[in-house]
Amino acid sequence: MLTFIIKRIVSGITVLVAISVATFFLLYYSGSNIARNILGEYATPDQVAAKEHELGLDRPIIVQFGEWASQAITGNLGVSWFTSQGVAESLLTRLPVTLTLLIVAIIAIAIFATLIGIAAAVKRGWIDRVVQVGAVVGEAIPSFVLGVIFVTIFAINLAWFPATSSIQPGAPGSAWVLSLTLPAIALALNGMTSTAQQIRSAVIAQLEKDYVRTLRSRGIPETVVLFKHVLRSAAPAGLTVLSLHFIGMLGGVVIIEQIFALPGMGALAVQSTVLGDTPLVMGVVIYTVIIVIIVNLLVDLANGWLNPKVRVS
């Protein structure tokens, strides 16, 4: 088990390094006018040159990357070029919002997808057909479209929720709940239908197995059969899809946060990328990759715990 975790961590670090290098170089070769954008259009060429020197942009990219990397290894992600704030500080104030949003959405997906998937597998008939159609429709509508529709209906017309985030430092819990409900549903609906579809297929496959017949013939109640035995065997398929959705949602959250003006990492990613704020973009990328690595590790562990066969491979 320990070797398995260590292996995973080593490969995770490899990925982290590769992505950091790639991002840094991409930013360097796409953002040639950072100093000009910081200073605005009325800055003279001399001013721009001075600013580039101040930021160290006039040095070779290898030197720049080396300096950034040597700092990053010690945990120092530097200071944003555009907000003068420490990168780690900026990210830490925003991480809770994004993580809460993602975790609420993923939990909602897990619970509802499981219930819907089992219902479709056991009852078949019309429920099953609705789930089948829903999976296609749900997959086709992007979460940001849902977000825009939700804002119009529930925030503007009905005024049940705030239209833009009211989360701020020291805001009461109610502000968090109200501000995150609509974006979380918008994020979750997209993944819910297809996860339900996966669970449905896996449960149907399990129900046809011999052990289910054996359990039933012993008089074990159907709910126990379903929730204890069948679901456990069907879970890995669902978990894998769930982890893929979680990673997919890291992309969706970027746009959702823009729509709801949430002070999260996604919104920061957009702002810093548009400006070419290298230290901040790198910080966002590193945090995101670490989150993905952790989620994947957790899913593998859960799968191993649910299904001993996986551990061997």
Partner 1 sequence: MKFRPLVVSAAVVAAASLALTGCSGSAASSGSGSAPTTLTLGVLQNINSFDPAQAHLGHQMQIYQAAYDTLILREPDGTLSPMLATEWQYNDDNTVLTVDLRDDVTFTDGATFDAEAAKANLDHFTEANGPDANQGKSIKSVDVVDDDTIDITLTEPDPAMLYYLSQAAGFMGSPDVLGTDGVKTVPVGSGPYILDKKASVNGSQFTFTKNEDYWNPDLQKYDKVVFKVLTEVTSRVNAIVSGQVDATLLDPKTSKQADKKGLKKTSYPVDWQGLLLFDRDGAIAPELEDVRVRQAINYAFDRQTMLDEALLGEGEVTSQVFGKTTEAYIPELDDAYAYDPKKAKELLAEAGYADGFTLEIPMLPDTETFMAMAKQQLADVGITVKLTSATIADYVPNIIQGKYAVAWFSIFQGEPWVAIRQMISTDAAYNPFKTTDDEIAGYIDAVHFGGEKSGELAKDVNQYVTDNAWFAPWYRVNQLYYSDDSKVTVEPQVQQAVPNLYNYSPVS
Residues making contact with partner 1 (CB under 8 A): 31-33, 36-44, 47, 50-51, 54, 82-85, 90, 93-94, 104, 107-108, 110-111, 148, 151, 155-156, 159-166, 168-170, 174-175, 177-179, 181, 184-185, 227-228, 232, 258-261, 263, 267-268, 271, 274-276, 305
Q: Are 260 and 165 in contact (CB under 8 A)?
A: yes
Query: In angstroms, what is the minimal distance from the CB of 299 to partner 1?
Result: 15
Of 12 and 78, the one with the shorter C-beta distance to partner 1 is: 78
Determine the 3-state secondary structure of 79 from DSSP.
Answer: strand
Of 11 and 85, the one with the shorter C-beta distance to partner 1 is: 85
Give residue for tokens 């609420």. Answer: 104
Give residue for tokens 């992309």. Answer: 251
Distance CA 305, CA 311 (A): 8
Residue 193: both structure tokens together: 């239908």
Of 107 and 293, the one with the shorter C-beta distance to partner 1 is: 107
Residue 240 makes CB contacts below 8 A (sequence gap 6+) with: 299, 303
Of 72 and 259, the one with the shorter C-beta distance to partner 1 is: 259
Query: In angstroms, what is the minimal distance from the CB of 200 to partner 1?
Result: 18
Query: In angstroms, what is the minimal distance from the CB of 45 to partner 1?
Result: 8
Of 60 and 169, the one with the shorter C-beta distance to partner 1 is: 169
Residue 28 makes CB contacts below 8 A (sequence gap 6+) with: 61, 64, 278
Of 90 and 143, the one with the shorter C-beta distance to partner 1 is: 90
Give residue for tokens 């819910």. Answer: 192
Query: In angstroms, what is the minimal distance from the CB of 10 to partner 1?
Result: 28
Query: In angstroms, what is the minimal distance from the CB of 152 to partner 1?
Result: 9
Centre a 10 Å sphere on the Cβ of residue 69 and count the other Cβ atoms it contains. Answer: 14
Query: In angstroms, what is the minimal distance from the CB of 264 to partner 1?
Result: 9
Of 15 and 168, the one with the shorter C-beta distance to partner 1 is: 168
- Straight-line distance from the first to the last Cα atom of the chain, in angstroms, rounded to the nearest whole number: 12
Which of 302, 287, 286, 236 minimizes the C-alpha distance to 102?
287
Query: In angstroms, what is the minimal distance from the CB of 297 to partner 1?
Result: 19
Residue 95 makes CB contacts below 8 A (sequence gap 6+) with: 264, 265, 287
Q: Are 298 and 239 in contact (CB under 8 A)?
A: no
